[in-house]
Amino acid sequence: MTASLPRTMLHRLTLSLNRRSKNVASFIDDRQSLSKYVHPSLTIRRRDISSTAITHSYVPVVLESGATGERAFDIYSRLLRERIICVHGEVTDTMASLVTAQLLFLEAEAPEKPVYMYINSPGGLVTAGMAMYDTMQYIHPEVHTICMGQAASMGSLLLAGGSPGCRFALPNARIMLHQPSGGARGMASDIAIQAQEILRTRANLNLLYVHHTGRSLDEIEKVMDRDTFMDVKQAVEFGVIDEVLNKRPTPSEEEKK
């Protein structure tokens, strides 16, 4: 009896493994046959999962505990609750769409409270930058601009376009001003039209810098002719910013101002 028991158990185990292997084989066959009817866009590949994970890892998530439990916010949404807008990267139509929407939302939420715009941008599209600039002037709240890293090209106009007395830069930031650039191709008449438009845009930008810096048109045209880099002290002297910030002001210090 004792000798036959292991043999019986071994036999049962063998039968069970055979049945399972057949089920696995049939499952694989069914999956391969069904794959013919699944659109490629609906399939999830390993590389898609990994790239998505990497993309999302660049935006930290903040957890907040409250009476109703925990809530998760991406870091930019959490900062928006503090009326902070980040203008980081190249000025594009996508960025302009997001920034203008945030400005309009914050005005609707509390028109008497200031908005804080942190800028670290190499510049970009003039039209996208003008959309953000015009919205900054359009809304009722004060817009405090703070340069961190750099504010170049259209980024410098956004920095200078903050509310008077509320334009700041961190100690190691840099500011760069220059005239708009562009290219054109096609018929001679079309090229002439594009060139005329660039000249009109340059004249308009020069007048905006005159307004925000208090400098003469001749001075602005000279600075804007080529790339002109400034450190924060030079930017204060030229009128692009009002003050260099070493530490973020406390709420009580901001109220005194």
pLDDT in tens, 124-151: 999 999 999 999 999 999 999 999 999 9
Domains of the chain, start order: 47-74 (no CATH), 82-250 (3.90.226.10)
- Determine the Cα–Cα distance for residues 240 and 213; give it in Å rounded to an integer: 5
Please identify which of the residues 121, 144, 156, 178 carries the catalytic annotation: 178
Q: Any catalytic annotation for residue 153?
A: yes
Nearest 5 degrees, angle CA 39-CA 45-CA 49? 125
CB of 223 closer than 8 Å to CB of 231: no
Please identify which of the residues 153, 156, 181, 212 carries the catalytic annotation: 153
Q: Any catalytic annotation for residue 11?
A: no
With 0-12 CB in 10 A as exposed, 13-18 as middle and 19+ as buried, what is 236?
middle
What is this structure's pTM?
0.74
Could you give the percent of the chain with pLDDT greater than 90? 64
pLDDT (tens digit per residue) in 222-254: 999 999 999 999 999 999 999 999 998 776 666
